[in-house]
Amino acid sequence: MTAFIEIHNVSKRYGSMTVLDGLSLSIKANEFMVFLGPSGCGKSTLLRMIAGLESVDEGTISINGERIDTLPPGQRDIAMVFQSYALYPHMTVSDNMAFGLRNINVAADVIAARVAEAARMLEIGHLLERKPGQLSGGQRQRVAIGRAIVKEPKAFLFDEPLSNLDAALRVRTRVELAQLRNRVKSTMIFVTHDQIEAMTLADRIVVMNNRKIEQIGSPMEIYSRPASRFVATFVGSPTMNFLDVGLSEQNGFVSARLPDGTELRTTIRAAGVKGTAHSLGIRAEAVKLASGVPATTTGKVDVLERLGDRTLLYTRLKDGSTVVAEDIGNSRVAIGDEVGLSLDGTRTHLFDAEGSAWHNEEPGHG
């Protein structure tokens, strides 16, 4: 069984502090939804409200059309995987996975079959007789996931399950989760502050900030067309370049005057752009060394970040503005070099002082 989850106008307060403010969201059946945002944005609180570990002050939460926010956690048919694993140290892996089923008097043969199947999915069959203290962090995390799987719930909730793992194990476990998602057909909600986890795992991402939802979309929608300056800053590494610009119109499109006086023509429709103070956003991959093409502007290289397949150039324009550009992996550029930069005007974004966004016209539109 799977779950369609509807969150309608939900608010949460602790005393005078509002943690979530009138938030609404629909999660499709069998969808892998990731709540992404910085610490304190309310993402874990929202997950705990779905699980029943936090009360709802206003609004409703329903699964498959039936309201659940008034039900105790045990009656919601949801399984949660915690950051801390929460395994019983004196029990074997098998007993840890079976414990919840035994508590609700599931038949022994059914428990054995579910534990065996979960162990097969997670490739931990050889660990069933070990105790948590004999396992690595990644193995303990898989046991915690297995304990959730055997319940055969309508939905799985993951509360930053990879944050206790070291970097290499985190990458491997992230891949395992992506593979597991294809084997276990169920609705999954995953909370993280790590954009790479979100971009790797999610069908859709909910970007949260300051008690509200900033944007909901597929990973590439979030990356390519951020709804606000916050999203553009939070998603993507390195973060998007921002330059304060003046605007004019050329043939119905925005022409941006960069801080050094350079004009950059964009494919952002001028109609509808509001406000007086604007920043032009452009990602590093849309800023290249001007090799064989006219330079949009020039900058002095302050820092080189060599990443193997590419090199990031942190350049300083004449007015002091910083622009991160991308070059090939074996870039010949040296710190202190003056380089020409070619900015792709068809891959720019515009943001006003409130953070609202305008984007380039998508191919096939207009």
What's the average model confidence in pLDDT over 185-214?
Answer: 92
CATH of the domain at 270: 2.40.50.140
Statement: residue 364 has pLDDT above 70: no
**Confidence bin at 337 (pLDDT 50/70/90):** very high
**Confidence bin at 1 (pLDDT 50/70/90):** low
Could you tell me if residue 236 is inside a domain? no
Question: Are 172 and 255 part of one and the same domain?
Answer: no
Could you tell me if residue 234 is inside a domain? no
Look at residue 272 in the predicted model and tell me its pLDDT.
83
How far apart CA 205 and CA 100 sit, in angstroms, is: 30
Tokens for 100?
A: 């919840």
Statement: residue 173 has pLDDT above 80: no
Question: Are 108 and 26 part of one and the same domain?
Answer: yes
**Confidence bin at 366 (pLDDT 50/70/90):** very low
More confident residue, 87 or 215: 215
What's the average model confidence in pLDDT over 42-65?
Answer: 94
Of 89-93, 128-132, 158-162, 342-346, the poorest mean pLDDT is in 158-162
Query: Residue 168's domain spans which residues?
Result: 5-228
Domain boundary among 165, 196, 228: 228
Could you tell me if residue 63 is inside a domain? yes
How far apart CA 118 and CA 143 sit, in angstroms, is: 9
Tell me the β-bridge partners of 236. Answer: none
**Confidence bin at 69 (pLDDT 50/70/90):** very high
CA atoms within 13 A on the CB side of 7: 24
Question: Are 272 and 167 part of one and the same domain?
Answer: no
What's the average model confidence in pLDDT over 25-49?
Answer: 93
Residue from 192, 195, 205, 162 nearest 180 by CA: 162
Could you tell me if residue 343 is inside a domain? yes
End-to-end CA distance of the chain: 43
What's the average model confidence in pLDDT over 51-65?
Answer: 94
For 232, the enclosing helix (H) or strand (E) is helix 229-234
Confirm if 89 and 131 have CB atoms less than 8 A apart: yes
Question: Are 59 and 202 part of one and the same domain?
Answer: yes
Question: Are 196 and 292 part of one and the same domain?
Answer: no
Question: Are 272 and 137 part of one and the same domain?
Answer: no
**Confidence bin at 121 (pLDDT 50/70/90):** confident
Look at residue 363 in the predicted model and tell me its pLDDT.
53
Look at residue 365 in the predicted model and tell me its pLDDT.
45
Domain boundary among 200, 228, 256: 228
Question: Are 199 and 101 part of one and the same domain?
Answer: yes
Could you tell me if residue 299 is inside a domain? yes
Question: Are 77 and 132 part of one and the same domain?
Answer: yes
The model carries a pTM of 0.88
CATH of the domain at 178: 3.40.50.300
Residue 220: which residues within 8 A CB-CB, separation 6 or more?
none
The crossing angle, in degrees rounded to 10, of helices 108-122 and 167-183 is: 120
How far apart CA 151 and CA 155 sit, in angstroms, is: 10
Calculate the average pLDDT of the chain.
90
Question: Are 105 and 13 part of one and the same domain?
Answer: yes
Paired sense of beta strands 253-257 and 263-269, if any: antiparallel
261 phi, psi to nearest 5 deg = 95, -10
Q: How many domains does the chain have?
A: 2
Could you tell me if residue 59 is inside a domain? yes
Question: Are 164 and 310 part of one and the same domain?
Answer: no
Domain boundary among 199, 228, 257: 228
Question: Are 59 and 174 part of one and the same domain?
Answer: yes
Question: Are 219 and 93 part of one and the same domain?
Answer: yes
Could you tell me if residue 364 is inside a domain? no
Please write the tens of the pLDDT for every residue from 242-251.
999 999 999 9
108 phi, psi to nearest 5 deg = -60, -40
Give the best-scoring range by mean pLDDT among 138-147, 172-181, 310-319.
310-319
